[in-house]
Structure 1
Amino acid sequence: MNQEWRSKIRLRQGDLTGAPVDAIVNAANNDLMLGGGVAGAIRAKGGPSIQAECNAIGRIALGEAAITGAGWLKARHVIHAASMRLGESTSEENLRRSTRNSLKLAAENSLKSIAFPAIGTGIAGFPIERCAQVMLEEVRDHLKQSTTLELVEFVLFDQNSLHIFEKALASMKDS
């Protein structure tokens, strides 16, 4: 069994907006409006250029992803994973597709590192245990293919979320 994909995943507690990676992922709505939660933190710390670029892109389909610059953040890009409509919740299908499309977009842009939050578990109300399973499955499947990504980091807000992701990763099978 090839477990090489595991060596490319890092889990840690911290502030996603300070991650020194090529791209951080925003838990976005499909209108690409940077409101509260992760998106609000990205807007506050990254400056107005990120929302301006989102406005230029406009609305994207649920489950899709879009890439912008990262303004004043350490990362060079923000990938906006549209897992919900503004004011609504995240579905498992939209979480899965937006995670997959974020990874695909990173590889299409020749990025080597990406950092994700636990998408959909804040404002959008998606259960964190299921989020960890779904997102890690998509990352595993992506890393088992040819990709430019050498590091996929999950930067979790609190110790409990980190523990849930660690437990989910430890229990994952190779396929």
Structure 2
Amino acid sequence: MVFRYKGVLIEVVEGDITEINVEAIVNPANSKLLMGGGVAGAIKRKGGVEIEKEARRKAPVQIGDAVVTSAGKLPAKWVIHAPTVIRPAGRATIESVSLATKAALRAAEEIGANSIAFPAMGAGIGGLAIKEAVKAMLREIKSHIEGETKLERIILIAWGEKALKEFKSASSELLIHNP
């Protein structure tokens, strides 16, 4: 599913964020930047432990802030670590997802990335319903695009068919029925 919003391409795809060819991928982190499970664990397993080591040197990071590391062996250039929870296995909120999404977009601009991929921030280990997480993310993405942006392509990556349906539903509501 592909949308164009204010000249920025927004794609909703099913896949593995560690395999996507973009300049930056987003890790919905914990404030300590420990990369044990979920998306963070996959990034560390496929990209290498050096990503976590580099991130940990910048910890702690508050919700609403983000730090950038190299992407190790991943196809991306950078990993943007944007906390949605304070401690590992903590519970995310719509507010924390909004703040983390905004921080990740701001970090992408600061490093000059023209493409970025987001998983369902705060869903999974964070415990939020996928649709609610994606709606919160899309509200921030739309708000960001309203301003000046270097981003040309934003990819929302769903893990599995059920998640893809939720991503598509939320995206349609916010990008088609409520432009």
Residue of structure 2 in register with 1:14 after alignment: 15
TM-score (norm 2): 0.92
Deviation at 1:63, TM superposition (A): 2.5
**Counterparts of residues 33-112 of structure 1 (less than 5 Å):** 33-85=34-86, 86-112=88-114
Asked whether the 8 Å contact 2:131–2:169 carries over to 1, the reply is no
CA distance in 1, matches of 2:28, 2:106: 16
SS in 2 for 1:57: coil
How much identity, in percent, do the aligned residues show? Answer: 36
Asked whether the 8 Å contact 1:6–1:140 carries over to 2, the reply is no
Amino acid in the other structure paired with 1:40: G
Asked whether the 8 Å contact 2:27–2:81 carries over to 1, the reply is yes
Residue of structure 1 in register with 2:116 after alignment: 114
SS in 2 for 1:83: coil
Count of aligned pairs: 172
In structure 2, relative to structure 1, the CA distance for the partners of 1:42 and 1:70 (3 Å cut) is same
Runs (4+) of structure 1 exceeding 4 A deviation are none
Deviation at 1:7, TM superposition (A): 4.9
Per-residue CA deviation, residues 15-74 of structure 1 (Å, 9 max, x unaligned), is 100010000101100100101010000000000210111121120112321110000000
Residue of structure 2 in register with 1:23 after alignment: 24
CA distance in 1, matches of 2:50, 2:140: 30
- The unaligned stretches of length 5 or more in structure 2 are none
Deviation at 1:100, TM superposition (A): 0.5
Cα RMSD over matched residues? 1.3
SS in 2 for 1:58: coil
Deviation at 1:87, TM superposition (A): 2.6
Amino acid in the other structure paired with 1:75: A
- The unaligned stretches of length 5 or more in structure 1 are none
Amino acid in the other structure paired with 1:168: A
Residue of structure 2 in register with 1:140 after alignment: 142
Asked whether the 8 Å contact 2:22–2:116 carries over to 1, the reply is yes
Asked whether the 8 Å contact 2:26–2:118 carries over to 1, the reply is yes
TM-score (norm 1): 0.94
SS in 2 for 1:123: helix
Deviation at 1:5, TM superposition (A): 3.3
Deviation at 1:4, TM superposition (A): 3.2
In structure 2, relative to structure 1, the CA distance for the partners of 1:4 and 1:121 (3 Å cut) is closer
